[in-house]
Amino acid sequence: AAGVIQSPRHLIKEKRETATLKCYPIPRHDTVYWYQQGPGQDPQFLISFYEKMQSDKGSIPDRFSAQQFSDYHSELNMSSLELGDSALYFCASGINRVPTDTQYFGPGTRLTVL
Amino acid sequence: AQSVTQLGSHVSVSEGALVLLRCNYSSSVPPYLFWYVQYPNQGLQLLLKYTTGATLVKGINGFEAEFKKSETSFHLTKPSAHMSDAAEYFCAVSGNNDMRFGAGTRLTVKP
């Protein structure tokens, strides 16, 4: 079965640079969630989109922005990168913003900021 | 607001022994509860979930969890641990449109 695809899998950037992470949800899933997992920490919710509109916002820094496109893929744009942004970034997809529905997680993008 | 607390950041069991990972939740609305497993350098994989109905939920790899409203708990169990169960386990609650994770419990299985 198709799963959530994230690219790139690994990314190395320097401070103050920008980064773009991409997420391709499972086919027919209309909701995308972004999470940040710091080293040894639990995933923290950043932001979610339903039908190309932002639906919820968590602890996403102002330096970050995201959007969902007409084909339902999503991109997380990160600017003015800081050392503390080094983390594993997960994308998850689901259906209809239903909280009972399972969120299916991608393999993550590991971002390292030097 | 919803939150979960996982008791014990590290649990170590012998192969073949009972696995018990504890999770307590806090929710102002009926909670939807999940257990995910994360293997090193991998994403989160759903083990099981509770939404409504039967309070004993069976998941993959022989895991199960019981929703106890009176105790606000959703502990994860497995009768007999395998070496392959060694991983990080996250309890999570969803009541709105995001998911709140616990801090995680690292399970170690000794031969």
Q: pLDDT tier at A97 (50, 70, 90 boundaries)?
A: low
Q: Which conformational region is residue A52 in: left (phi greater than 0), alpha (psi within -120 to 50 degrees), or beta?
A: left
Residue A112: what pLDDT?
A: 96
pLDDT at A95: 84
- Closest residue in chain B to residue A46, using alpha carbons only: B98
The model's pLDDT over A63-94, given as tens digits with 9 standing for 90+, comes to 999 999 999 999 999 999 999 999 999 999 98
Distance CA B69, CA A113 (A): 43
Find the CB nearest B32 among A100, A107, A110: A100
Q: Give tens-digit pLDDT for B61-103.
A: 999 999 999 999 999 999 999 999 999 999 998 866 677 899 9
Angle at B102 (CA atoms; ends B110, B42), nearest 5 degrees: 60
- A39 CB within 8 Å of a chain B CB: no
The reply to whether omega before B111 is within 30° of 0 (cis) is no
Are B79 and B29 in contact by the 8 Å Cβ rule? The answer is no
Report the chain A residue with the minimal C-alpha distance to residue B42: A107
The pLDDT score that the predictor gives to residue A99 is 61
Q: Does A95 touch chain B (CB under 8 A)?
A: no
Q: Does A108 touch chain B (CB under 8 A)?
A: yes
Asked if A76 and A20 touch (Cβ cutoff 8 Å), the reply is yes
Burial of B63 per CB tally in 10 Å (0-12, 13-18, 19+): buried
A105 with B36: Cβ contact below 8 A: yes
**Closest in B43, B98, B102 to A45, CB measured:** B98
Buried b (16+ CB within 10 A) or exposed e, A63-93: ebebebeeebbbbbebeebeeebbbbbbbbb
Task: Write down the pLDDT at residue B77.
Answer: 97
> pLDDT per residue over B3-26, tens digit each?
899 999 999 999 999 999 999 999
d(CA B93, CA B50): 10
Residue B25 · residue B66 · CB < 8 Å: no
Minimum distance, in Å, between the CA of residue A82 and any CA atom of chain B:
22
Question: Under an 8 A CB cutoff, do A100 and B46 touch?
Answer: no
